[in-house]
């Protein structure tokens, strides 16, 4: 779909392609509509970020930027070392991308304060998810016993 193509343009174009001598092949037209809907849904999935796969070692997280919902990509370096035999390195989380109008852009578009807020929100949500999973596991163990 081009940037200026309206729904009525799409319908008129598909109807014209599947009409000949005043007769419209409705089964063919329905198949064309279905194919167009699938293409539009795929475009929408890309625009919304639902079709994205994070890079290795990264996670996607939904948050807000101002009033707008955005999808960000965070690179996570896990905690390493025990501090005794080898140096201890804390887990590091960095925002590396933000989805803007269907394109993953550099996180440098956002200021440091916003990126720090995104990281804090991500870490808080992940901690809540871990706690909920732990509670579910304990409840399941109790029910099984």
Would the pTM of this model clear 0.75, i.e. be above it? Answer: no
pLDDT digits (tens, 9 = 90+) for 77-122: 888 777 677 776 788 999 999 988 778 889 999 999 999 999 999 9
Helix (H, G, I), strand (E, B) or coil at 23: strand
pLDDT digits (tens, 9 = 90+) for 35-86: 888 888 887 777 777 767 788 888 999 999 988 888 999 999 888 777 677 7
Tell me the percentage of the chain whose pLDDT exceeds 70. 94
Using the predicted structure, report yes or no on whether residue 145 has a pLDDT greater than 80.
no
Instruction: Count Cβ neighbours within 10 Å for each residue of 27-63 and write b for 16 or more, e otherwise.
Output: eebeebeeeeeeeeeeeeeeeebeeeeeeeebebbeb
Cα–Cα distance, 45 to 39 (Å, whole number): 10
């Amino acid at each position: 779909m081009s940037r200026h193509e309206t729904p009525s343009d799409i319908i008129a174009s598909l109807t014209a392609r599947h009409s000949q001598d005043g007769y419209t092949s409705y089964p063919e037209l329905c198949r064309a509509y279905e194919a167009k809907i699938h293409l539009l849904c795929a475009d929408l999935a890309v625009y919304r970020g639902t079709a994205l796969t994070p890079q290795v070692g990264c996670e996607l997280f939904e948050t807000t930027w101002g009033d707008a919902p955005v999808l960000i990509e965070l690179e996570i370096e896990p905690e390493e070392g025990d501090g005794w035999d080898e140096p201890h390195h804390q887990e590091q989380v960095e925002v590396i991308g933000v989805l803007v109008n269907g394109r993953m852009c550099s996180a440098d578009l956002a200021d440091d304060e916003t990126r720090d807020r995104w990281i804090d929100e991500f870490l808080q949500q992940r901690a809540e998810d871990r706690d909920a999973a732990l509670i579910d596991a304990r409840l399941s163990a109790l029910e099984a016993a």
